[in-house]
């Protein structure tokens, strides 16, 4: 049993706002949904499956089905933080393959800027009864210092440098200059990154992703429906997902759950690394990209610093163009969750609809990867591989 070829991504949408002072959370979800459905050439009455995660208001699928007036026969609110929506693509393909739904809608939205949330530098209140919280929350774990510990250990163990990490931001900024909706459009240098203020050692301000409001949506459909629409055919080839945690105290911060989700997705898709023309890699921080590229097998463990240096991730320059929309580091990280926009840009690339300055030639196979939660404690990794037909 496989999802390969059983489902197609027919519609994608990235909300253009980066600060949503005048919209509600449910409204942002719905505006994103309508955008993706319009992109596909479908309406909300075609939707019979709905997927959302912890950013959705109220009781998730119940509240959003109510708000949008959806009549559903399949729901999934799998929550793994920012990687949820990459997982949802795989789950939507599974549901479609089993005949549980024909048109699956995935939405994401949030407004951390409008709400004035100190996203990265203040500990998030633990979820009720989270078993780890009594042993972590008193120590001030923030997003930035948890990823900082992962980066510090990688540097210690493999000699990775701040300059190498900076190349990841440099590549993202080279792409973002062509995206009119990107929050940060200025091209930066390695020196700019290293000279930006230290947030939490060894991560500088420009090692961190942006904080933005907004959202996005994806429409996954069964093959017969995809072929009836007037959009390029983007097929789901394979998917993988896995949690990684503290292993009962045998903590190793130098790798992520991508060591499991990646091989599963590659095996199901039946493609090799050399087949991947474009990769959307979750970029909450520069270190997230570096560790993920190693774990997905684009280079050996410990060699990520060398792999990303000297523009290797820049479209038209390097061997593995990544995050050509500017990614979370420059463009958009709506609701502090970057997984959905990773899939959106991969679909743009496969359709040939990326900005001409960053469009990868003959982009027939692409990968999108999400890392939700924290590299420093526990996270959900998700990989999806898609192909143009």
Task: Please report, as ranges, the residues that interact with another protein according to CB under 8 A.
Answer: 121-123, 126, 129, 131-142, 144-146, 148-153, 156, 197-203, 246-251, 253, 377
Find the shortest distance in angstroms from Cβ 136 to another protein.
5
- Side-chain-side CA neighbours of 356 within 13 Å: the count stands at 0
Burial grade of 41 (CB within 10 A; 0-12, 13-18, 19 or more)? middle
Which of 199/236 has CB closer to another protein? 199
Residue whose CB is less far from another protein, 287 or 360: 287
| Positive or negative torsion for Cα 222, 223, 228, 231 | positive
CB of 234 to another protein, least distance (A): 39
Which pair of tokens denotes residue 311? 């523009």
> Rounded to 5 degrees, what angle do the CA atoms 1, 366, 378 make?
75
CB of 199 to another protein, least distance (A): 5
Closer by beta carbon to another protein, 202 or else 216 = 202
Q: Measured from the CB atom, is 122 or 187 closer to another protein?
A: 122
Give the shortest CB-144-to-another protein separation in angstroms: 7
As measured in angstroms, the least distance from the Cβ of 373 to another protein is 15
Least distance between another protein and beta carbon 378 (Å): 12
Nearer to another protein, 103 or 149 (CB): 149
Measured from the CB atom, the residue of 89 and 242 that comes closer to another protein is 242
């Amino acid at each position: 049993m496989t999802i390969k070829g059983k489902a197609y991504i027919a519609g994608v949408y990235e909300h253009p706002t980066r600060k949503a002072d005048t919209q509600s959370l449910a409204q942002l979800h719905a505006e994103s949904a309508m955008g993706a459905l319009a992109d596909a050439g479908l309406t909300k009455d075609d939707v019979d499956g709905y997927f959302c995660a912890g950013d959705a208001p109220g009781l998730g699928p119940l509240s959003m089905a109510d708000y949008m007036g959806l009549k559903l026969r399949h729901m999934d609110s799998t929550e793994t933080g920012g990687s949820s929506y990459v997982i949802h693509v795989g789950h939507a393909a599974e549901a479609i393959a089993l005949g549980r739904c024909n048109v699956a809608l995935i939405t994401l939205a949030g407004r951390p800027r409008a709400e004035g949330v100190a996203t990265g530098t203040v500990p998030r209140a633990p979820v009720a009864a989270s078993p780890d919280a009594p042993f972590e929350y008193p120590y001030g774990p923030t997003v930035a210092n948890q990823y900082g510990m992962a980066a510090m250990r990688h540097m210690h163990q493999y000699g990775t440098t701040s300059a190498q990490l900076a190349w990841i931001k440099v590549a993202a900024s080279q792409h973002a200059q062509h995206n009119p909706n990107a929050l940060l459009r200025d091209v930066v240098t390695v020196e700019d990154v290293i000279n930006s203020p230290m947030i939490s050692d060894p991560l500088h301000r420009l090692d961190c992703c942006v904080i933005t409001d907004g959202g996005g949506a994806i429409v996954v459909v069964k093959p017969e429906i995809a072929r009836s629409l007037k959009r390029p055919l983007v097929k789901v080839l394979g998917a993988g997902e896995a949690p990684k945690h503290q292993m009962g105290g045998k903590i190793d911060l130098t790798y992520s759950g991508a060591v499991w989700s990646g091989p599963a997705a590659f095996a199901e898709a039946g493609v090799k690394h050399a087949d991947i023309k474009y990769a959307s890699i979750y970029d909450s921080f520069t270190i997230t990209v570096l560790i993920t590229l190693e774990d997905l097998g684009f280079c050996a463990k410990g060699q990520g610093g060398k792999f990303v240096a000297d523009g290797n991730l820049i479209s038209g320059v390097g061997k593995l163009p990544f995050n050509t929309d500017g990614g979370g580091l420059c463009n958009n990280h709506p609701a502090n969750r970057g997984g959905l926009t990773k899939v959106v840009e991969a679909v743009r690339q496969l359709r040939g609809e990326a900005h001409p300055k960053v469009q990868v030639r003959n982009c027939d196979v692409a990968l999108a990867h999400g890392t939700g939660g924290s590299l420093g404690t526990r996270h959900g990794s998700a990989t999806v591989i898609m192909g143009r037909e």
